[in-house]
């Protein structure tokens, strides 16, 4: 049986990846900075919390990383840990850089030190590309990061590339565009929108406050994207891949779709709040997933409207009375 360590198992991607690997017969170890104090809410939501071995590991502490790798002796490591919010990174730039860039470097150095042939997947980000002028970004598109988060992810990407070339490690990065699910916390704008629309549909008189509605993003479905992570480590040679749907939508369209799903006009319930604007933001994010399509056999099945529908369905799943009153028919 293969063994895998998932760093950052408590997050959206970590939980879905753990589920996928367990279904494929893996022994899975999930790590967080304090496994005793973490709730692992997402693992419980998926019903797999008892199947994952949980360990405390501080990625910024090389000794901590080395101890866990020596104890578990994994075949594969999936590095999904670190500060995950672009907006928060402007307020916490040092913590963001250390948790992502230093954490990734410690994993690479520990793998090199052990010399055990461990395969490493590193979670890259489409934010590294910066503003591409509306063009779809592929693996050859230069990085022009525009946030502390993107700077940290770009540094981690080049660390992985350097260790792959200098030491022959099987290490790769998935450059993932935005991917959503019901496991997203509300600090992410997509879940904030879905949760707000559902509360208003149930009778709340609140106004949903949002920032820049003109940005465009390439939104996909998180459970599909973790499959791409797994496929990258099953290839004969390590390589980096852009993972995306290839289609972009305005944030305003995402909002409109969420409110339309619960039979509301978003214009009546949304206000623009200038305090939510970021110091710098990307106008358009769009990925070109052709390499993943051709080499991994991976292609996104769900696009933005599908993602919105599934997130709303899940949010309303415990409100049977509301569904019956409003003749709402879930798609799942």
Residue 149 a catalytic site member: yes
Residues in the chain: 332
Q: Which helix or strand (DSSP H or E) is residue 174 part of? A: strand 171-176
Whether residue 95 is found in the same domain as residue 54: yes
In a domain, 301, yes or no: no
In a domain, 142, yes or no: yes
Whether residue 102 is found in the same domain as residue 148: yes
Nearest CA-CA partner of 273 in 87, 83, 84: 87
Marked catalytic residue, from 26, 64, 121, 127: 127
CB atoms within 10 A of CB 129: 26
In a domain, 31, yes or no: yes
In a domain, 295, yes or no: no
Whether residue 74 is found in the same domain as residue 194: no
Domains identified in the chain, total number? 2
In this predicted structure, what is the pLDDT of residue 86? 84
DSSP output for 79-123: E--S---HHHHHH-HHHHHIIIIIHHHHHHHHHHHHTS--EEEEE
Whether residue 39 is found in the same domain as residue 98: yes
Whether residue 156 is found in the same domain as residue 91: yes
Marked catalytic residue, from 125, 147, 173, 249: 125
Nearest CA-CA partner of 116 in 159, 79, 72: 72
Whether residue 65 is found in the same domain as residue 208: no
Q: d(Cα 266, Cα 150) in Å, to the nearest integer?
A: 31
Residue 127 a catalytic site member: yes
Whether residue 277 is found in the same domain as residue 141: no
Whether residue 83 is found in the same domain as residue 203: no
φ/ψ (deg, to 5) at 28: -115, 130
Let me know: does 52 contact 22? Beta carbons within 8 Å.
yes
In this predicted structure, what is the pLDDT of residue 282? 79
Give the angle 154-155-157 at the CA atoms, nearest 5°: 65
Whether residue 73 is found in the same domain as residue 152: yes
CATH number, domain of 195, equals: 3.90.25.10
In a domain, 9, yes or no: yes
In this predicted structure, what is the pLDDT of residue 329? 61
Provide the sign of the torsion angle of the four alpha carbons 35, 175, 62, 76, taken in this order. positive
In a domain, 78, yes or no: yes
Residue 247 a catalytic site member: no
In a domain, 299, yes or no: no
**213 CB burial (10 A radius; 0-12, 13-18, 19+):** middle
CB atoms within 10 A of CB 66: 18
In this predicted structure, what is the pLDDT of residue 332? 52
CATH number, domain of 107, equals: 3.40.50.720
Give the residue numbers spanning the domain of 208.
Answer: 185-218+248-285+306-325
Whether residue 172 is found in the same domain as residue 252: no
Whether residue 145 is found in the same domain as residue 275: no
Whether residue 162 is found in the same domain as residue 253: no
In this predicted structure, what is the pLDDT of residue 267? 95
Marked catalytic residue, from 16, 26, 121, 149: 149
In this predicted structure, what is the pLDDT of residue 85? 80
In this predicted structure, what is the pLDDT of residue 276? 82
In this predicted structure, what is the pLDDT of residue 120? 98
Per-residue pLDDT of the chain (332 residues), as tens digits, is: 999 999 999 999 999 999 999 999 999 999 998 777 788 999 999 999 999 999 999 999 999 999 999 999 999 999 999 987 888 889 999 999 999 999 999 999 999 999 989 999 999 999 999 989 889 999 999 999 999 999 999 999 999 999 999 999 999 999 999 999 999 988 899 999 999 999 999 999 999 999 999 999 999 999 999 999 999 999 999 999 999 999 999 999 999 999 999 999 999 999 998 888 777 677 889 999 999 999 999 999 999 999 999 999 999 986 655 555 566 666 65
3-state secondary structure string, 267-283? HHCEEECHHHCCCCCCC
Looking at the DSSP bridge assignments, the partners of residue 54 are 30
In a domain, 292, yes or no: no
In this predicted structure, what is the pLDDT of residue 20? 98
């Amino acid at each position: 049986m293969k063994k895998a360590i998932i760093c950052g198992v408590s997050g959206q991607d970590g939980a879905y990846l753990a589920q996928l690997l367990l279904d494929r017969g893996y022994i899975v170890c999930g790590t967080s900075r304090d496994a005793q104090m973490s709730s692992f809410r997402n693992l419980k939501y998926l019903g797999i919390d008892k199947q994952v071995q949980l360990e405390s590991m501080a990625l910024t502490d090389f000794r901590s990383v080395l101890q866990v790798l020596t104890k578990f002796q994994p075949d594969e490591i999936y590095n999904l840990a670190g500060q995950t919010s672009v907006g928060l990174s402007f307020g916490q730039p040092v913590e963001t850089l250390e948790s992502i860039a230093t954490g990734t470097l410690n994993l690479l150095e520990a793998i090199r030190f052990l010399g055990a042939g461990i395969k490493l997947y590193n979670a890259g980000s489409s934010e590294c590309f910066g503003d591409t002028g509306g063009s779809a970004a592929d693996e050859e598109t230069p990085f022009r990061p525009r946030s502390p988060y993107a700077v940290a992810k770009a540094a981690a990407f080049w660390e992985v590339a350097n260790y792959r070339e200098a030491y022959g490690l099987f290490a790769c990065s998935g450059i993932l565009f935005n991917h959503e699910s019901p496991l997203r916390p509300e600090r992410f704008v997509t879940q904030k929108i879905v949760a707000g629309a559902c509360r208003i549909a149930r009778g709340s008189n609140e106004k949903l406050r949002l920032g820049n509605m003109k940005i465009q993003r390439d939104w996909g479905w998180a459970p599909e994207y973790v499959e791409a992570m797994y496929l990258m480590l099953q290839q004969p040679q390590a390589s980096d891949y852009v993972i995306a749907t290839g289609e972009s939508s305005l944030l305003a369209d995402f909002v409109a779709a969420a409110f339309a799903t619960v039979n509301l006009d978003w214009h009546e319930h949304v206000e623009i709040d200038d305090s939510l604007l970021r110091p710098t933001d990307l106008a358009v994010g769009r990925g070109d997933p052709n390499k993943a399509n051709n080499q991994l056999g991976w292609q996104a099945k769900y696009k933005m409207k599908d993602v919105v529908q599934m997130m709303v369905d899940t949010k309303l799943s415990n409100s049977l009375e509301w569904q019956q009153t409003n003749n709402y028919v879930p798609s799942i």
